[in-house]
Structure 1
Amino acid sequence: MQLYHMGGPWIGQTFYVAAELGLADYLGSDPVSVAELATRTEANEEALYRFCRVLAALGVLEAHPDRHFSLTEAGYALRSDAPGGFRYGVMLQSGACFRAWTEVMHTVRTGKPAFDKVHGAAYYDYLDANPAENELFNRAMGVTSLAPAIAALERYDFTGIKRVVDVGGGVGTLLAAVLRMNPGMSGVVQDLATVAAEAPAHLAEQGVQDRVDVVTGSFFDSVVPGADAYVLSRVLHNWNDDDCLKILRRVHQAMPPHGKLIVIDSVVPESGGLHPSMLADLFMMVILGGKERTEADWQRLLFEAGFRMTRAVQADNVGDTLVHALVEAVPR
């Protein structure tokens, strides 16, 4: 074991400092003094220098004489306007979520999320009560999980599918990408009213508003019926098996006999070696009580919900993001 792995939390929080302060927004190819950065970000100059020194060692910044720094090519990912929204993902995982890990033994001993113990509320209830954190969550989820999900759907054959429902689809970014790839298709984006409120404007920006219906409501209560395909992208890993069965059974009730279920999530390999999905699994367990699943897990879960799994296709890696897989199932 490499001993520097023990510093993982410190490295993550160092990225958080850069993301929270918006350092990358104040930097470019020209060197800027730490004194100027400290003034712009309202930080302590000496403390900021010591963090910048580590960020340079990590390849985010480039160090120059007299305590000046510039932004590396990799560091541009931390800009507020950078494609992929890495900055918001770092901020989301390093604030309230990071503090939950101080009670990780609660999860190990009980199997319940440590987040609830630390913050006195389940994660989604916490978001409802904290608008700023909820906005950060929506911004992070709207970008960080979409590139690999879209990559997975680019390999899917939508022949014969005329209407698709994106269940828990947020503002409709993923659905918009699917519709642009399939001009003859229409769709529905379903999510909670607080999330889907921005969907019409976003869909209009994407030029697909005339092909999409926005439906509000919990997928635990009902799912829009009668579509040819239903997409659950990065939804089921948020929930334990019992809750997943409730969601899947709602989809099964809504789906016609010819319908297809498309699940986009990670598939944990059952062979040896560390895989990003294993670390994501720990995060889901500690924060939400959810889990990442093996192919055998997916087969069992889908069978219990009334589906037959037809295939699992691993998507190509997209940058440094978690590799997603596309799991297809049909009613049995």
Structure 2
Amino acid sequence: MTVHDTRTPDLGADQSDAADPAPAPAPAIDPASDPALDERAPSIADRAALFGVLTGGWTAQCLYALAKLGVPDLLAAGPRPVEDLAAECGADRRALRRVLNAVTAAGLFRETAPGTFALTPVTRLLCRDATRSSRPSAIMFGEEVYQSFGAIMHTLRTGEPAFEQLYGKGFYDYLDDDPQLTAVFSAAMGNAAVPAALAGCDLSGLGTVVDVGGGDGGLLGKVLTRHPAARGILVDLPEAVEQARAKLTAAGLDQRVTVAPGSFFDPLPTGGDVYTLSRVLHNWDDEQAVAILRRVREAVPDHGRLLVFERLEGRTPDPARAAQAQLIDVLMLVMLDGRDRTEEEYRGLLDAAGFEVRSVRAAPLHSSSTESVLEATPR
């Protein structure tokens, strides 16, 4: 059995470097500021807010279906009548019109003339060629993730991922058997932003950086661009490293990078000055996370460092981002055996693997990223 060691796509928290996540409909009164809230009868505004939350999944599934059919791509050049869209994407004209009416009423598309529709800046992100396209995430969220949330009662009753109950195997084993889903997953992860906490890391004099579970090479590419004398090694499974090779070649960095197909549960390249694990450990339970860290400990030299980028429980001060981070934690609950952890818990994992944490730095205050970075050295 091959262990698939890529990462969990975030629910939008890291799909944009600057845009804030759209807030959920607010109740009529802020619960934190109303001591008599328990005694107040629900208002019409409360009912509307709850209805908006309960029906949010309907809107998401409409966007999934439109993205899957390629409707945003058909509208990329400008408005088009629904008859043309239905003919080209293979949809029923009346059904497509009703779905487009719904998402237009939600402000996600525009109707420029009766029966003629156009994109908004939000739905332009669902086009295949959009910068850091959200199409792969929309498709995965609309299929395996949607089904897993539909079985959340199994998770609540057993504590086990609903995904395994639905599909008969763990998420990464399932990826191994489905190349099409693997491609969608890798593309979704490739569109995630590099953790903003990277900017606070002192990498002066860097020789070689080894990005373990580096996906499509986004983090490694940013490090090498900022440090022209450095070289890099990227470790991930074959599907991911091929995407990384193409991306790094397009950036003119291919002569400074070695791609190493493989699992981070197997021996890793040795001798790097800095090793990085970005959004990897939270996907795994404690035993597996320590196993990954021990592989890094075997490879890192005495003078080397490890940078671990993860969201730390209780360290996301912005309420909107904290709420979104908690949803990501529930995503992991229904899909995987992993979870977000506190700083102390990550310190414990690193200690068990033979590392000593030297510093912990949060992301810049106004960044969209929620990950902190733990810097550790061999003990």
* TM-score between both structures, scaled by the size of structure 2: 0.80
Counterpart for residue 237 of structure 2: 192
Preserved contact between residue 165 and residue 227 of structure 1 (Cα < 8 Å): yes
Q: Which residue of 1 aligns with 2:308?
A: 263
Question: Which of 89, 99, 108 is the aligned partner of 2:156?
Answer: 108
Q: CA deviation at 1:55?
A: 1.7
Distance 1:44 1:316, change over 3 A: farther
> Given that residues 19 and 91 in structure 1 are in contact (C-alpha distance below 8 angstroms), is that contact kept between their aligned partners in structure 2?
yes
Aligned residue in 2 for 1:276: 324
Q: Give 1:29 shift.
A: 7.2
Which residues in structure 2 correspond to 1:81-96 (within 5 Å)?
Answer: 81-96=129-144
The structural deviation recorded for 1:93 is 1.7
Per the alignment, residue 324 of structure 1 pairs with 371
Alignment of 1:1-332 (within 5 A): 1=27, 2-3=49-50, 4-28=52-76, 30-143=78-191, 145=192, 147-149=193-195, 151-269=196-314, 274-309=322-357, 310-315=359-364, 323-332=370-379
Higher mean C-alpha displacement, 309-318 vs 184-193 = 309-318
1:157: how far off? 2.0
Aligned residue pair count: 327
Moved more, 310-319 or 103-112: 310-319
Offset at residue 191 of structure 1 (A): 1.5
Distance (whole Å) between structure 2 residues aligned to residue 192 and residue 60 of structure 1: 36
Name the aligned partner's letter for residue 275 of structure 1: A
Q: Does the 8 Å CA contact 2:64/2:139 hold for their aligned counterparts?
A: yes
- When the two chains are superposed, the root-mean-square deviation of aligned CA atoms in Å is 2.2
AA aligned opposite 1:312 = R
1:284-307 CA distances to partner (integer Å, 9 max, x unpaired)?
Answer: 121122112233332232233222
Structure 1 consecutive aligned stretches of length 4 or more whose deviation exceeds 4 Å: 270-274, 315-319
Q: In 2, are the aligned partners of 1:29 and 1:70 still within 8 Å (CA)?
A: no
Please state whether the residue corresponding to 1:293 is helix, strand or coil.
coil
Change over 3 Å in CA distance of 1:71–1:202 after alignment to 2? closer
Aligned partners of 2:310 and 2:163: how far apart in 1?
22
Structure showing greater radius of gyration is 2
8 A contact 2:197–2:361 mirrored in 1: no
Calculate percent identity across the aligned residue pairs. Answer: 37
Separation in 1 of the partners of 2:278 and 2:254?
20
SS of match in other structure, 1:195:
helix
Distance 1:249 1:115, change over 3 A: same
Distance in 2, matches of 1:30 and 1:140, equals: 25
Distance 1:40 1:8 in 2: 28
The answer as to whether partners of 2:231 and 2:257 remain within 8 angstroms in 1 is yes
- Matched letter for residue 296 of structure 1: E
Distance 2:77 2:104 in 1: 14
Equivalent residue letter for 1:213:
T
Cα offset, 1:165, TM superposition:
0.3
- Shift in Å, 1:199: 4.0
Q: Secondary structure at the match of 1:95?
A: helix
Conservation of the 8 A alpha-carbon contact between 2:277 and 2:309: yes
Q: Distance in 2 between matches of 1:105 and 1:304?
A: 34
Partner Cα distance (2:229, 2:120) in 1? 43
Structure 2: gaps (5+ residues): 1-26, 28-48
Determine if contact 1:100/1:118 at 8 Å carries over to the other structure.
Answer: yes
The 3 A distance-change label for structure 1 pair 248 and 31 is same
Deviation at 1:186, TM superposition (A): 0.6
Bigger RCO of structures 1 and 2 (CA < 8 A, at least 6 apart)? 2
SS in 1 for 2:277: strand
The answer as to whether partners of 1:29 and 1:71 remain within 8 angstroms in 2 is no
Q: Distance in 2 between matches of 1:85 and 1:318?
A: 20
